[in-house]
């Protein structure tokens, strides 16, 4: 058995923060639960969106077998209505994956880091984080090209782990951010436009996209089949040659940023 479907959702409407472009200091009027100004919780409206998304996720086919999330609070909070409902029926594990975390572009100062798994576990049960993540976004920031390569590399690792899972998961869910959600669509399909600003993959708040594998590969790859990213040289992302063909054999986008289940419909498409 190998993975067949990947669902991708964006977090709900969040609280705001500001950053001083001269110093790189982040601040907010509403304290973050993790104490990190750049790691806000959802706004009350976003909480309602997350509840509606959670109900929708309970009805998707095939059902979700594996769950991955960006390590930022707003993504884990967005998943909570869904994971809490699943927890009532049995064990739930949310894999915290920095490789699908936020994109901050390039700047002269260090970029925000999420809270530790210890802090996050104080707010959310059933979290799992690898001791040695496959890849972590550089604190020096990323170009748009680096963002896409980082996302593709992380997806390659996630998919390889799912393919090798003896329980045979069919469907995987990822909760991420706007720019990352766009990059996920491009990396999975292999469709990278010459103009990076092209409108191709939707990323509305609490929207859901669905990607179906183009074909069952004759041989599934293990996470170690490609060069490994090194934390000692974080700006260098190994090339997995995803452009034009897609990660791990390629995927077709069959649902692109659906918001039909949200009362407010499509909002904040970045």
Q: What is the pTM of this model?
A: 0.93
For the chain, which domains are there? 5-258 (3.40.50.1240)
pLDDT, the chain, mean: 90
Write out pLDDT tens, residues 133-167: 999 988 888 899 999 999 999 999 999 999 999 99
> What is the residue whose two structure tokens read 């959702």?
9
How far separated are the first and last CA of the chain, in Å rounded?
36
Q: Hey, which bits of 111-213 come out as E strands?
A: 127-129, 171-176, 208-213
User: Tens digits of per-residue pLDDT, 73-88?
Assistant: 999 999 999 999 999 8
Question: If you count them, how many residues does the chain have?
Answer: 270
Report the run of H or E that residue 85 belongs to, with start and end. helix 73-87
Residue 133 near residue 95, CB atoms below 8 Å? no
Nearest to 156 by CA among 266, 237, 263: 237
Residue 190 near residue 250, CB atoms below 8 Å = yes
């Amino acid at each position: 058995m190998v993975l067949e479907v990947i669902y991708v959702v964006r977090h709900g409407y969040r609280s705001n923060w500001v950053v001083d472009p001269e110093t790189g200091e982040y601040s907010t009027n509403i304290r973050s639960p993790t104490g990190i100004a750049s790691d806000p919780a959802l706004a009350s409206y976003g909480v309602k969106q997350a509840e509606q998304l959670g109900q929708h996720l309970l009805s998707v086919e095939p059902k979700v077998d594996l769950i991955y999330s960006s390590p930022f609070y707003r993504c884990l909070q967005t998943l909570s209505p869904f994971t809490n409902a699943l927890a009532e029926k049995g064990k739930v594990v949310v894999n915290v994956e920095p490789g699908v975390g936020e994109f901050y572009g390039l700047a002269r100062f260090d970029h925000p880091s999420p809270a530790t798994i210890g802090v996050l576990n104080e707010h959310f049960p059933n979290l799992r984080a690898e001791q040695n993540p496959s890849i972590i976004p550089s604190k020096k920031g990323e170009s748009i090209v680096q963002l896409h390569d980082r996302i593709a590399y992380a997806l390659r690792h996630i998919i390889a782990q799912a393919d090798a899972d003896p329980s045979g998961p069919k469907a995987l869910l990822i909760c991420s951010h706007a720019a990352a959600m766009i990059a996920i669509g491009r990396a999975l399909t292999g469709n990278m436009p010459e103009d990076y600003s092209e409108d191709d993959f939707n990323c509305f708040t609490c929207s859901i996209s669905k990607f179906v594998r183009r074909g069952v590969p004759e041989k599934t790859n293990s996470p170690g089949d490609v060069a490994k990213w090194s934390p000692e040289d974080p700006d260098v992302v190994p090339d997995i040659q995803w452009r034009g063909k897609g990660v791990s054999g390629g995927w077709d986008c069959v649902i692109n940023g659906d918001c039909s289940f949200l009362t407010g419909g499509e909002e904040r498409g970045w």
